[in-house]
Amino acid sequence: MDPLGEYVSKATIVSDERVDCMYLTFRAVELALSHTPDEAIQIALERRFHSKGVLKEGHVINYGDRFEYGEDMIESGKWGKEMTSGIGKTMKIKGSRGKDFVEVLSSDALMQGMKSLKSGDLVFFAKKPDKREAGEIIGHIGIIEVRDVEGNQRSKAVLLIHASGTKGKGGAVKKVLLREYLSKMPFIGVKITRFR
């Protein structure tokens, strides 16, 4: 995950023109937890930063305090409670930035535990250690949607909502079956957080 999105370079809270996976997650959660646009901005200032974001004349003056790494979002608790080990059997992978290792679910373990996922769960995709560029463990983030399969309320489809593309060129928000995404994903495993 490139730590610098358009919203950071513009020093704004709302920059919906070009969306990356972290910004999509930020905005979706902020809007879901708020009742008004002003409340969404206050939630953003509370949650996107290690401490708290500061606005001055419509611009964020302390984006240096932002969450640059998905793994820091997880550890903060501001982005839900980590549920990874509650979904399935975890495995240890090499850590970075002071962590010897981290525990993730393999794609197989997640497929087996998919029935435990709930709409609104956040999925943090861990990079293979040899693919990390800036010490980042998490390389992609998405949001889970669980819905009834048409014509069969007993069967559930688990979807991944994520921003797909590159920062320089932009991308698109997509909704895909999680099972299909996992079958071809370039990541070593996932971590899961949940609000509630």
| Region 148-169 average pLDDT | 79
CATH architecture for the domain at 80-194: Roll (2.30)
- pLDDT, tens only, 12-27: 888 777 788 998 999 9
pLDDT of residue 164: 81
pLDDT over 70 (residue 30): yes
Q: Per-residue confidence at 165, pLDDT binned at 50, 70, 90?
A: low
SS (H, E, C) 111-172: HHCHHHCCCCCEEEEECCHHHCCCCCCEEEEEEEEEEEECCEEEEEEEEEEEEEEECCCEEE
Taking the domains of the chain in order of start, what are their residue ranges?
6-70, 80-194
Q: Dump pLDDT digits (tens) for 102-147.
A: 999 999 999 999 999 999 999 999 999 999 988 899 999 999 999 9
In order, the DSSP letters of 65-116 are: GB--SHHHHHHHSTT-EE-HHHHS-EEEEE--TT-SEEEEE-HHHHHHTGGG
Residue 29 has pLDDT above 90, yes or no: yes
Local confidence band at 5 (pLDDT 50, 70, 90 cut-offs): low
> So what's the pLDDT on residue 62?
93
Q: Model confidence over 69-106: pLDDT tens digits?
A: 999 999 999 999 999 999 999 999 999 998 999 999 99
pLDDT tier for residue 8 given thresholds of 50, 70 and 90: confident
**What percent of the chain lies above the pLDDT cut of 90?**
73
Give me the numbers of helices (H) and strands (E) for the chain, helices first please: 7, 10
pLDDT of the residue at 81: 97
**Separation between Cα atoms, residue 137 and residue 153, nearest integer Å:** 37
In this model, does residue 2 exceed pLDDT 50? Answer: no
**Mean pLDDT, the chain, integer:** 90
The pLDDT-based confidence of 3 (bands split at 50, 70, 90) is very low
- Residue 49 DSSP one-character state: B
